[in-house]
């Protein structure tokens, strides 16, 4: 007697991501596992009276996408906020904000996202005065796409108690004007939080990134509201064919809410969440928090088993750290959030506890410091299979490229982030890093060719979450000037960075990331055959069905 399938997906172009059996036309699932992958005739034999048959209509079927770097709480909250993507010029900004204000007359703080640094014009930055002219009587906070910079109007600055400025710590800044008052530009989370705390969620969605800590006072009602926001976000994630997400901020508050969702209705997406180590935390937190969370949250659906840190900020606000000076600002290289010695100590201690590390490093100076720390851990503890990673790697120094392979460091990159991609402006980014560094910016082909394992993601809500859009960006990247190396990847390299390698980074390559007998039943059915789709049309291909852990989590 053959086992009976709970689902059979047939008439499909299955890309299994399993090199031993790369293609098939059908997949059978039973419970939360894959029963068989093969030709239709073979798979149909698993059909029984209770089998649910899905006709893929010739579309591609893949292992569910693994989004290797995102922020679930922040992203979920933003689904309720205004997006300024594509808005350009004062008049367009004014109209968008005024319409939004009219739509939500009761919101204490109007939050908008995705305002380019050049939203007004190429050479004029937003100040509180611009926003005051648009909405003098409502508190307004607008974020740059990278979320590292925001701009507030006078009412919002007053409400947050920071109109006269305040010391917000290294790497954070309330930009002050000649008049002794804040200009409205707020750099990094310590500067932004006093204002964002006035919003609907009290800014709680930003705490995982900002402090790694938990909110001090949360009423039952507020917590229920936060859970509702998370559920909306998780459903949205599943609607894009994603079955695994690796969160890049962490807090116990978020883990416990996710655990509650898992216990009540079930998580529609597998979640991996880190312990977020900030530079003011004692080293002992690695043991008492990170390792303790690992023991407590250790299922295939919700786990906390790594450490996240930020080494620098972002290029546009001058907080990214470079080996050499910024091209537009001689004498300034940026200031790291940890000293080399501090980071080495953390990298060694985490490694000793068997905790993988993921570090945000945008500038080549920050990337180098992180590689140095990983090297120090190998020297101190011996080489182990650590799967440590670096997030973003917007610029890498040529001398450091071979070190990724040597140290076994994973490159975690975002195809939607290069200036000129996904509608992002070229400036001020390209002038800030300067032409000499262009060949080493967003150099994913270069890193892959040098033997670095690579995973892709969007850093949602920094850029749109849709994996198909991101895959198109990875494959259609254009050069900034003639003669620069073509950094595009092939479809199969890109898909691997969205599936199989993501599972490997999570130490779960023995059960997910491929469509293979016995593996977890995480599958996405797409609306078309992506191998027969022109690269420029990949983003039009939509998920039709998402299955996670043997359960349909999205149906178009």
Residue closer to Zn ion, measured from CB, 248 or 528: 248
What's the token pair of residue 114?
């995705």
- Tally Cβ neighbours within 10 Å of residue 197: 17
Binding segment (CB under 5 A) for Zn ion, from list 98-106, 458-466, 482-490, 526-534: 458-466
Between residues 81 and 459, which has the closer beta carbon with respect to Zn ion?
459
146 binds Zn ion (CB under 5 A): no
Binding mask 234-253 for Zn ion (x = CB under 5 A): --------------x-----
Q: What is the dihedral of CA 209, 212, 216, 217, to 10 degrees?
A: 50
CA distances from 475 to 142, 487, 514 (A): 31, 8, 21
| Nearest distance in Å: CB 459, Zn ion | 4
Smallest distance from the beta carbon of 391 to Zn ion, in angstroms?
Answer: 6
Q: How far is the CB of 62 from Zn ion (least distance, A)?
A: 24
| Comparison of 26 and 370: residue with beta carbon closer to Zn ion | 370
CB nearer to Zn ion: give 14 or 248: 248
Nearest distance, CB of residue 300 and Zn ion, angstroms = 23
CB of 146 to Zn ion, least distance (A): 9
* Cβ nearer to Zn ion, comparing 322 with 460: 460
Q: Which of positions 92-131 make contact with Zn ion (CB under 5 A)?
A: none
143: its two tokens = 């974020």
Query: Closer CB to Zn ion, residue 69 or residue 445?
Result: 69
Q: Find out whether 492 and 484 touch, Cβ atoms under 8 Å.
A: no
What gap in Å lies between CA 411 and CA 397, rounded to an integer? 14
In the shown chain, the binding pattern of residues 411 to 450 toward Zn ion, with x for contact by CB under 5 A and - for none, equals ----------------------------------------
**Piece in contact with Zn ion (CB under 5 A), picked from 23-31, 45-53, 453-461, 544-552:** 453-461
DSSP 51: P
State the binding string over 466-505 for Zn ion (x if CB under 5 A, else -).
Answer: ----------------------------------------
Query: What DSSP string runs through 451-507?
Result: T--EEE--TTTTS---HHHHHHHHHHPPPSSTTS------HHHHHHHHTHHHHHHTT
How many binding residues for Zn ion (CB under 5 A)? 2
8 Å CB contact between 368 and 321: no
- Residues 239, 96, 192, 323: what is their CA dihedral angle, to the nearest 10 degrees? 80
Q: Give the nearest distance from C-beta 246 to Zn ion in angstroms.
A: 10
Nearest-approach distance from CB 69 to Zn ion, in angstroms: 6
CA separation for the pair 502, 251 (Å, rounded): 22
The one among 285, 364, 400, 459 contacting Zn ion by CB under 5 A? 459
Alpha carbon distance 438, 425 (integer Å):
15
Six-digit token pair at 278? 């900030």
- Which residue number, 248 or 547, has a Cβ lying nearer to Zn ion? 248
The least distance separating Zn ion from the CB of residue 165, rounded to whole angstroms, comes to 27
Q: Give the burial class of 295: count Cβ atoms within 10 A of its Cβ; 0-12 exposed, 13-18 middle, 19 or more buried.
A: exposed
Q: Which residues bind Zn ion (CB under 5 A)?
A: 248, 459
């Amino acid at each position: 007697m053959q086992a009976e399938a709970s689902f059979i997906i047939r008439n499909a172009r299955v890309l299994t991501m399993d090199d031993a059996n790369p293609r098939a036309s059908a997949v059978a699932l039973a419970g939360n596992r894959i029963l068989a992958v093969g030709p239709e005739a073979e798979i149909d034999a698993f059909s029984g009276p209770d089998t649910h048959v899905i006709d893929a209509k010739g579309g591609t079927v893949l292992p569910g996408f693994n989004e290797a770097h995102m922020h679930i709480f922040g992203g979920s909250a933003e689904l309720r906020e205004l997006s300024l993507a594509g808005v350009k010029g004062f008049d367009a900004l004014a109209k968008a904000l005024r319409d939004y204000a009219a739509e939500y007359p009761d919101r204490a703080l109007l939050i908008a996202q995705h305002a380019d640094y050049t939203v007004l014009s190429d050479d004029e930055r937003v100040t509180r005065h611009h926003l005051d002219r648009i909405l003098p009587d409502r508190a307004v906070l607008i974020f740059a796409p990278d979320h590292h910079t925001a701009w507030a109007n006078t009412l919002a600055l007053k409400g947050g108690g920071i109109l006269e400025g305040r010391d917000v710590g290294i790497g954070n800044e309330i930009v002050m004007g000649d008049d002794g008052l804040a200009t409205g530009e707020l750099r990094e989370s310590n500067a932004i939080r006093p204002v964002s705390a006035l919003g609907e969620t009290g800014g709680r969605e930003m705490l995982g990134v900002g402090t790694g800590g938990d909110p001090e006072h949360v009423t039952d009602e507020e917590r229920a509201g936060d859970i509702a926001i998370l559920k909306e976000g998780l459903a949205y994630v599943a609607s894009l064919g994603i079955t695994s997400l690796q969160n890049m901020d962490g807090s116990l508050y978020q883990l416990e809410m996710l655990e509650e969702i898992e216990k009540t209705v079930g998580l529609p997406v597998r979640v991996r969440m880190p312990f977020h180590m900030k530079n003011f935390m004692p080293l002992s937190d690695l043991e008492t928090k990170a390792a303790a969370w690992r023991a407590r949250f250790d299922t295939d659906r919700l786990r906390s088993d790594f450490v996240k840190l930020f080494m620098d900020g972002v290029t546009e606000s001058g907080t990214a750290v470079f080996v050499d000076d910024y091209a537009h600002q001689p004498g300034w290289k940026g200031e790291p959030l940890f000293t080399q010695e501090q980071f080495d100590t953390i990298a060694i201690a985490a490694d000793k506890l068997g905790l993988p590390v993921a570090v945000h490093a945008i500038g080549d100076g920050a990337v180098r410091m992180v590689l140095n720390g990983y090297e120090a851990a190998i020297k101190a503890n011996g080489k182990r299979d650590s799967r440590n990673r670096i997030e973003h790697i917007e610029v890498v120094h040529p001398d450091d490229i071979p070190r990724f392979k040597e140290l076994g460091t994973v490159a975690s990159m975002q195809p939607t982030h290069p200036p000129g991609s996904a509608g992002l402006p070229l400036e001020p980014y390209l002038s800030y890093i300067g032409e000499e560094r262009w060949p080493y910016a967003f150099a994913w082909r270069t890193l892959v060719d040098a033997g670095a394992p690579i995973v892709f993601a969007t850093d949602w809500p920094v850029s749109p979450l849709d994996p198909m859009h991101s895959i198109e960006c990875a494959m259609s990247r254009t050069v900034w000037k003639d003669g620069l190396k073509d950094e595009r990847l092939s479809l199969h390299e890109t898909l691997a960075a969205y599936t199989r390698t993501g599972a490997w980074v999570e130490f779960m390559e023995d059960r997910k990331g491929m469509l293979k007998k016995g593996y977890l039943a995480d599958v996405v059915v797409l609306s078309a055959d992506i191998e027969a789709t022109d690269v420029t049309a990949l983003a039009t291909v939509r998920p039709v069905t998402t299955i996670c852990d043997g359960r349909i989590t999205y149906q178009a």
